[in-house]
Amino acid sequence: MSLETISLEKKEKIAIIRLNRPKLLNAVNEQLVWDFQEATIDVKQDDLIKVVIITGAGRGFSAGADLSERNSSWRGSKDALLRGYKPFFESIISMPKPVIGAIAGPAAGIGAAIAMSCDLRVMSDDSYILSVFSNIALVPDGGLSWYLPKFMGFAKAYEHAIEAKKISAEDCLKYGIANKVVSRDELEKVTLEWAHKLSKRSSQSLNHTKRLMRESLEVGYWNTFHNEAEIQNELTVSDQNKEAVKAFLEKREPNFD
């Protein structure tokens, strides 16, 4: 795989997708969109990978869209969002494995939407989420208008969006956007340790719990209740369940390899 603007590393059941335009704070140009599509599809389809980390090279996660780009194939913003961005968001959201965003510095504009699309987030104490769009007379996109009210409530999300106010790492922790906040020096170490810990857990539990909880945001209680029943019926006769019960009775860690 040849990627120009993203690096993809795989080791010990973990994939690290790194936005790699550090001189421009990983601003998203068209080439990065295509590379990101390819990288997310690759790790989604790789059964050896149990956990995915998305992060940025250099000083920040992503400053958002590259406004200096002059030549692209997009036929307007709608085309860019639907033909370009939507496929990699779909891969992240539907990926049958947890995706952790490791966020340093700014996650702004479409970079904020990428950070918010991850299932879990570890943020450095100097990082922030920023819906910057109102500064250039636009609306949030990449699903940011959906994510922010879910975490912050309508009034605070609307305030931060229309004033283009930074949501600090500390506030992200308060609102439940961030799972962990650590120093910048510890960001990669803590994220990798968490990824390794998750990679040892039952893949079917991780995968189905992600799907159930993602779907629960858009359906009613009884829909989720019945979906849980269907999945549980399958999993209680699975090899992983048998191994987990056996390990519990034998007072040892289960081996899901």
pLDDT digits (tens, 9 = 90+) for 119-135: 999 999 999 999 999 99
Q: Would you say residue 240 lies in a domain?
A: yes
* Whether 45 and 154 share a structural domain: yes
Check pLDDT > 90 for residue 250: yes
Residue 156: pLDDT band (50, 70, 90) is very high
- pTM (predicted TM-score): 0.96
Residue 2: pLDDT band (50, 70, 90) is confident
* Whether 185 and 120 share a structural domain: yes
Q: Would you say residue 255 lies in a domain?
A: no
Q: How far apart are CA 136 and CA 1, in angstroms?
A: 36
Q: Would you say residue 176 lies in a domain?
A: yes
Question: What are the Cα distances from residue 208, in Å, to 88, 95, 147, 213, 256?
Answer: 20, 11, 21, 8, 16
Residue 229: pLDDT band (50, 70, 90) is very high
Residue with token string 């159930």: 212
Q: Would you say residue 121 lies in a domain?
A: yes
Element (H, E) at 8: strand 6-11
Q: Would you say residue 71 lies in a domain?
A: yes
Phi and psi of 18, rounded to 5°? Answer: -120, 115
* Whether 112 and 168 share a structural domain: yes
Q: Would you say residue 256 lies in a domain?
A: no
Task: Supply the pLDDT for residue 91.
Answer: 98
* Whether 155 and 224 share a structural domain: no
Range of the domain at 96: 6-199
Q: What is the pLDDT of residues 36-63, one digit of tens each?
A: 999 999 999 999 999 999 999 999 999 9
* Whether 161 and 241 share a structural domain: no
* Whether 80 and 186 share a structural domain: yes
* Whether 117 and 26 share a structural domain: yes
Q: Would you say residue 1 lies in a domain?
A: no
Across-strand partners of 43? none
* Whether 63 and 176 share a structural domain: yes
Number of domains in the chain: 2
Q: How far apart are CA 230 and CA 242, in angstroms?
A: 18
What count of residues does the chain have?
Answer: 257
* Whether 169 and 241 share a structural domain: no
Element (H, E) at 158: helix 154-162
CATH of the domain at 190: 3.90.226.10
